[in-house]
Structure 1
Amino acid sequence: MKQLVLAGGGHAHVRVLAALAARPLPGVEVTLVTPQPTQWYSGMVPGVIAGRYAPEDAQIDLAALAHRAGVRLVLDAVAALRPEARQLRLAGGNDLAYDALSLDTGGELARDLIDGAREHALFVRPLHSFVQLWPRLQSLAARQPGLQVVVIGGGAAGFELALAMRRALVAQARVTLVAGNAGLLPGFPRGLRHRALAALKSRAVTVIADDAVEIKPGQLRLSGGSRLPCDAPVLALGVQPPAWVADSGLRLASDGFIATGATLQSVSHPEVFAVGDVSRRIDAPHPRSGVYAVRAGPVLTANLRAWAAGQALQPYRPQRFALALLSCADGTALASWGPLFAHGAWVGRWKDRIDRAFVESFREGVQGTSLLAR
């Protein structure tokens, strides 16, 4: 039996598991390595924080999905990779041998990018840790009216979480978004950025276009020299490669992520596939978005089947634009597609439908694919 190891339960791998549940991979023993038996769907986590979704609405049961697919489940995390020996070292100390390895572990938030963050900040990723710690922040706000909550990061995650926390904490806390020197939602259409800023201001979320450089108890220092009261710093910055990637022996892109080509294989080790936030397509760079990982899932599945059968692999051609839907925590949402954008309750209903359909598509007995995957 050939050994295929799926490391990580990201957006692409859940689609691989669903495909294997429908049609197994003959002659191949498949193992899924993931730290948690469930996977939080990132698109719905702000809705969980805002109280618009129950936690179970936003989770995919990886253990159940693996069971239906006939895939062995190992609850552990990747610690190291030895590609020449084709071995994966796990955090628990065990080694897993593989004939082919697929990596969809996601990236990590930098713990030391801001002085004092490791000691004092609440990190948005990993999502399961963040959601588990969220009730503590709610309790703290209830005990200390006027609590100063500062979300650090002006991207989509920071925007959505600032509004979600403001809605959840109501009058118990003051919420500030430190968006960075690049401003709010860099890379999005100008009109959408104006709408997003208006949404934050209408809900009394203060927005500061400056970089956070140091966190101390009760205080945040900005690059401009000013100091901001801060009782609860929440980091929602962009991801960096997991620590083990640097010594993985795989060729890396200039930003340190695993370099992959058109067939989603490592450019240096073709038996290793990588998708999502752990990788970088060097032949066709695209933004880091869950939509790209979801749409890579069917191509990854087809290529894993082709690998098992000794057949030619097919390329994944990312679309030029990806649909972005940003929750405003009140039932409305913002949408962008390239230079186009929209805002309103109808966008919120659209986002809700897409998100629910995506998670529901992985539950037992559900047929069809989600709108997000189309």
Structure 2
Amino acid sequence: MHQPPAPLTRDLVLVGGGHTHALVLRKWGMTPLPGARLTVINPGPTAPYSGMLPGFVAGHYDRDALDIDLVKLARFAGARVVLGACEGIDTQARLVHVPGRPPIAYDACSVNVGITSDMPALPGFAEHAIPAKPLGPFAARWQAYLAGDRPARAAVIGGGVAGAELIMAMAHALRARGRTAELSLIDSARALSALGEGAATRVRAAIDGLGIILREGVAVTEVTADGVGLADGTTIASEFTTGAAGARPYRWIADSGLALQDGFITVDAHLRSSDPSVFAAGDCAHLSFDPRPKAGVYAVREAPVLFDNLRATLEGTPPRRRYRPQKDYLKLISLGGKSALGERFGLPFSGPLIWRWKDRIDQKFMDRFRALPAMQPPAPPRHRAAGLEEMPGDKPMCGGCGAKLGRGALRAALSALPTGTRPDITPLPGDDAAVLTLGGARQVMTTDHLRAVTDDPVLMARIAAVHALGDIWAMGAAPQAATATLILPRMTPELQARTMAEIMISAGEVLREAGAEIAGGHSSMGDELTIGFTLTGLLDRDPITLAGAQPGDAVIVTKPIGSGVLMAAEMLGAARGDWVAAAYAQMTRAQGGAARLLSDAHAMTDVTGFGLAGHLLNICEASGVAAQLDLDRVPLMAGALELSRQGHRSTLYPDNKALAPELPVGPRADLLFDPQTAGGLLATVAAEQADDLVAKLRAAGHGAARIGAITQGPPRLSLG
């Protein structure tokens, strides 16, 4: 008997992608809790590992080496990813607020957002300096500064271990590039006070050996574009100023209503806050039962405790595991080059061997996320119907347009329908929308629905709305009204209400911005999320159809292609998180403005399930023309070509390729047959207008390109 997925009954929300949460996600992927829906919220698709920051700054690691790919990790864990920075938690309503989307409800929540070294009270810091944490923005600014060729002047405010590591790494990197440098480390008290005397002496010697000026016992009064002002009246020259002065909590935590210590969330031995449904870990938490300094080693060791206690909370039982922080831990400090100092129990030891030891520890930690355990597909049944072994079963079925039927099956079904006789319906063979005449007014009607490409209902609602609007925009109509058709995974009525609210609010925003309103809808439950819309649009002119292309026209596309390959690879955990995030951004980009700029197009459609080649061939067949494409000018989404080279294909690719078997195969050419979800508009325009239109489209933020030309001849495609 078919066993459906377990109904969803509880929402667990992880706020932040810190080290503890990354490890929780990995453990969750190994042993998920049936009935729990897991969400992770993070400002970006990756979470940097701070332990390797000095090595990156020094030039020992490239930027990617620091990043935990949260999109891949969430896919492994079966979690949805919300890309955005938390701006508050309402513990009374149990809601997490993220800008630009409806609040996210939770039954259990955990906070692991780390700390910031921002200094809002220091005059000029916000305008002229960059905090060392969060790491992402700092890393980008440092890379840009390091690429210069002028003599360098930089300063680090904060003489703790983190500040010392940072300034020594900067000195090494600048020296390796042959740049002269004037570098300063500034502390209002005594630097390196967290280290024993022996270790501090060795670090001071390393700082001095790199020519770094150490200023202690003097407060900073201001930061300017070219220097740091001190309380004694002196100014230290600096064009690149950063802050590593202690740990500062994010300001939104103060408004959470949770018990705090110096702005950090107070937790008990179970890592539970004053609100039993909210937990916290890592640097943003204060261990009330055994206060410890801020250090990544504690965050890592908290992960199994947090994992077990979150599961217990979701199961409706008390937390069962206590965290017992170690009294001392091994401190490994980078000294700029490939040398490091270690300290344990007050005993220092240093040298290249210690750096290799540190590197091995860091790489071992990151390897937990680089090579996630492969989840084996279930074995095929021993007894099965003939032909089952020929069906693709070695990978998940694609979502979005990759899950649609091929053009052949659709055309065969439509051709069997009797010829229409209603005079108020204008037949448009091949177009995805119908034109209705109502009392002298013309109305376009279309419908579309998608299997989810993401578990985030908000993101999926936006993608589905933009996708459905494509047919209205492609015909030159103004969106008017919409009804929604929703299939939700099996879940409790409370989770149904949460999910429906997220979908309808988000879709309503997209449709309203396009000029339409949601007039109603229907919903049901199934095994997975599916979102669709039936739309109408109003025409004040003749519709733009497939049938108007003329020889000599230029072919324009308004978005890059590659979403099918990216989504197929993402389902297998093979696509980089930043590629996936960029693809989502493309799929949610509305095309109403592009349609208005292309209002004089001779023929137009949107690029969806049949791929760019299939939809261009539709134009050729309806117009009785041929088309020539310049393959190198077709814009591609980030990562699409690399994934295509690796052999990733959407499940609809074979059907689409069969539409034009004469075209060559290869990583780039194959992307012409990649099904697009919420793809761009594909238009043929007068050749003399094409370049000006592309320039206007690009100025409006669209990734448009002139990719070919319409030619005389029987309907076919060729590459020029």
Deviation string for 1:249-302 (max 9, x for gaps)? Answer: 11111x111111110000x20110001121111111001000000100010001
Instruction: Determine the structure 2 residue equivalent to 1:205.
Output: 212
Instruction: Determine the structure 1 residue equivalent to 2:642.
Output: none
Matched, 1:308 2:314: yes
Instruction: Determine the structure 2 residue equivalent to 1:154.
Output: 159
Instruction: Determine the structure 2 residue equivalent to 1:344.
Output: 351
The alpha-carbon distance between structure 1 residues 337 and 295, as it changes in their structure 2 partners (threshold 3 A), is: same
**Distance (whole Å) between structure 2 residues aligned to residue 66 and residue 2 of structure 1:** 17
Instruction: Determine the structure 2 residue equivalent to 1:364.
Output: 371
Tell me the CA shift for residue 51 of structure 1. 1.0
Instruction: Determine the structure 1 residue equivalent to 2:407.
Output: none
Matched, 1:169 2:174: yes
Matched, 1:37 2:63: no
Amino acid at match of 2:286: R
TM-score, normalised with respect to structure 2: 0.49
Deviates more, 1:332-341 or 1:27-36: 332-341
Amino acid at match of 1:307: T
Query: Which residue of 253, 265, 268 maps to 1:245?
Result: 253
Tell me the CA shift for residue 211 of structure 1. 2.5
**Distance (whole Å) between structure 2 residues aligned to residue 354 and residue 32 of structure 1:** 26
Tell me the CA shift for residue 167 of structure 1. 1.1
Instruction: Determine the structure 1 residue equivalent to 2:277.
Output: 271
Q: Is the 1:154–1:177 Cα contact (8 Å) retained in structure 2? A: no
3-state SS of paired residue (1:362): helix
Query: Which residue of 225, 231, 241 maps to 1:233?
Result: 241
Instruction: Determine the structure 1 residue equivalent to 2:144.
Output: 136
Deviates more, 1:178-187 or 1:233-242: 178-187
Instruction: Determine the structure 2 residue equivalent to 1:76.
Output: 84
Q: Is the 2:47–2:68 Cα contact (8 Å) retained in structure 1? A: yes
**Distance (whole Å) between structure 2 residues aligned to residue 27 and residue 175 of structure 1:** 58
Q: Is the 2:117–2:246 Cα contact (8 Å) retained in structure 1? A: yes
Tell me the CA shift for residue 83 of structure 1. 0.2
The number of residues matched between the two structures is 362
**Distance (whole Å) between structure 1 residues aligned to residue 107 and residue 130 of structure 2:** 38
Instruction: Determine the structure 1 residue equivalent to 2:124.
Output: 116
**Distance (whole Å) between structure 1 residues aligned to residue 373 and residue 57 of structure 2:** 27
Matched, 1:286 2:312: no
Q: Is the 1:149–1:173 Cα contact (8 Å) retained in structure 2? A: no
Tell me the CA shift for residue 310 of structure 1. 2.6
TM-score, normalised with respect to structure 1: 0.93
Q: Is the 2:338–2:352 Cα contact (8 Å) retained in structure 1? A: yes
3-state SS of paired residue (1:114): coil
Instruction: Determine the structure 2 residue equivalent to 1:371.
Output: none
Deviates more, 1:157-166 or 1:179-188: 179-188
Matched, 1:127 2:139: no
3-state SS of paired residue (1:109): coil
Q: Is the 1:178–1:212 Cα contact (8 Å) retained in structure 2? A: no
Is there any run of 5+ residues in structure 2 with no aligned partner, and where? 1-8, 375-720
Amino acid at match of 1:17: L
Amino acid at match of 2:181: R
**Distance (whole Å) between structure 1 residues aligned to residue 269 and residue 99 of structure 2:** 30
Q: Is the 2:107–2:314 Cα contact (8 Å) retained in structure 1? A: no
Matched, 1:353 2:353: no
Amino acid at match of 1:198: A
For residues 4-19 of structure 1, the aligned pairs below 5 Å read 4-19=12-27
Amino acid at match of 1:245: I
Instruction: Determine the structure 2 residue equivalent to 1:67.
Output: 75
3-state SS of paired residue (2:133): coil
3-state SS of paired residue (2:369): coil
Tell me the CA shift for residue 174 of structure 1. 2.1
Deviation string for 1:126-154 (max 9, x for gaps)? Answer: 211111111221134x1x22x31111111
Query: Which residue of 171, 179, 182 maps to 2:189?
Result: 182
Amino acid at match of 2:369: F
**Distance (whole Å) between structure 1 residues aligned to residue 34 and residue 247 of structure 2:** 36
For residues 51-62 of structure 1, the aligned pairs below 5 Å read 51-62=59-70
**Distance (whole Å) between structure 2 residues aligned to residue 275 and residue 25 of structure 1:** 21
Tell me the CA shift for residue 207 of structure 1. 1.1
**Distance (whole Å) between structure 2 residues aligned to residue 173 and residue 119 of structure 1:** 26
Q: Is the 1:22–1:69 Cα contact (8 Å) retained in structure 2? A: yes
3-state SS of paired residue (1:192): helix
Q: CA RMSD in A?
A: 1.5
Tell me the CA shift for residue 344 of structure 1. 1.3
Matched, 1:194 2:204: no
**Distance (whole Å) between structure 1 residues aligned to residue 194 and residue 61 of structure 2:** 28
Amino acid at match of 2:198: G
Deviates more, 1:337-346 or 1:287-296: 337-346
**Distance (whole Å) between structure 2 residues aligned to residue 365 and residue 88 of structure 1:** 29
**Distance (whole Å) between structure 1 residues aligned to residue 127 and residue 339 of structure 2:** 35
Q: Is the 2:13–2:109 Cα contact (8 Å) retained in structure 1? A: yes
**Distance (whole Å) between structure 1 residues aligned to residue 84 and residue 239 of structure 2:** 33
Would you identify which runs of 4 or more consecutive aligned residues in structure 1 move more than 4 Å?
A: none
Instruction: Determine the structure 1 residue equivalent to 2:598.
Output: none
Deviates more, 1:43-52 or 1:169-178: 169-178
**Distance (whole Å) between structure 1 residues aligned to residue 101 and residue 373 of structure 2:** 37
**Distance (whole Å) between structure 1 residues aligned to residue 72 and residue 225 of structure 2:** 42
**Distance (whole Å) between structure 1 residues aligned to residue 179 and residue 341 of structure 2:** 26
Tell me the CA shift for residue 366 of structure 1. 5.5
Q: Is the 2:117–2:245 Cα contact (8 Å) retained in structure 1? A: yes
**Distance (whole Å) between structure 2 residues aligned to residue 217 and residue 329 of structure 1:** 26
**Distance (whole Å) between structure 2 residues aligned to residue 358 and residue 151 of structure 1:** 28
3-state SS of paired residue (1:208): strand
**Distance (whole Å) between structure 2 residues aligned to residue 259 and residue 161 of structure 1:** 29
**Distance (whole Å) between structure 1 residues aligned to residue 219 and residue 373 of structure 2:** 45
Tell me the CA shift for residue 107 of structure 1. 1.7
**Distance (whole Å) between structure 2 residues aligned to residue 50 and residue 362 of structure 1:** 23
3-state SS of paired residue (2:228): strand
**Distance (whole Å) between structure 2 residues aligned to residue 236 and residue 94 of structure 1:** 34
Question: Higher relative CO (CA 8 A, sep ≥ 6), structure 1 or 2?
Answer: 1
